[in-house]
Amino acid sequence: MTEAIYPGTFDPITHGHTDLVQRASRLFDRVVVGVAGSTWKQTTFTLEERVALVRVALHGIERVEVRPFDGLLVEAARALGTTVILRGLRAVSDFEYELQMASMNRRLVPEVDTLFLTPAEHYGFLSASLVREIAALGGDVGPFVHPAVASALVAKLQC
Ligand code: ADP
């Protein structure tokens, strides 16, 4: 059985993330979407909220499981028994950070490999931080996120 973990902050999940999960679900028998609890990023949504929104957005995609995780990603991968970490590459700007992280994770656990997927071209510009900014300024994020995520953003950011 082939398995992979797709880790991220998902603050919140966008159509770009979902596009990647759909692609991965065609390549692996099981894809675990790991929602990071401990992160240096200050998140807009709590871990519980992010997990709940990821579950709603990915509902119906087969062979996908959503799980929160804490601590080192490589340890979460090891606990799951998977040696494949999935990440997304949108543009050259993602590359340096992603390469550094992939190399460090391999240094920590040599049998773990990072696999990169690219989203559909029209999601190449999409990021959770831009979506949060648009929502905070009263813009329509409908084209970029699941309706439940759009509502959650309005409730959270447009007080
Ligand atoms: P992190 O804080 O771990 O970077 P993110 O939720 O921002 O978490 O992103 C998780 C992964 O999804 C990263 O590999 C990121 O490059 C990728 N990603 C984010 N947005 C998109 C998108 N629009 N298309 C493809 N991949 C994306």
Spatial distance between the Cα atoms of 149 and 29, rounded to a whole number of angstroms: 27
The residue among 140, 143, 137 whose CA lies nearest residue 157 is 137
Find, among 33, 49, 50, 140, the residue nearest to 88 by Cα: 33
- CA of 89, closest atom in ligand 1: 16
pLDDT of residue 25: 97
Q: What residue's CA is closest to ligand 1, atom 27? A: 88
**Is residue 16 scored above 80 in pLDDT?**
yes
Ligand 1 center–CA 11 separation, angstroms: 10
Quick check: 116 pLDDT over 80? yes
Pocket of ligand 1 (CB under 6 A): 8-10, 14, 16-17, 20, 41, 87-88, 90, 94, 119, 123, 126-128
- What's the pLDDT score for residue 46? 96
CA separation for the pair 65, 63 (Å, rounded): 7
Distance (Å) from CA 81 to ligand 1 centroid: 23
Q: pLDDT by residue (tens digit) across 47-86?
A: 999 999 999 999 999 999 999 999 999 999 999 999 999 9
pTM: 0.96
Confidence grade of residue 95 (pLDDT, cut at 50, 70, 90): very high
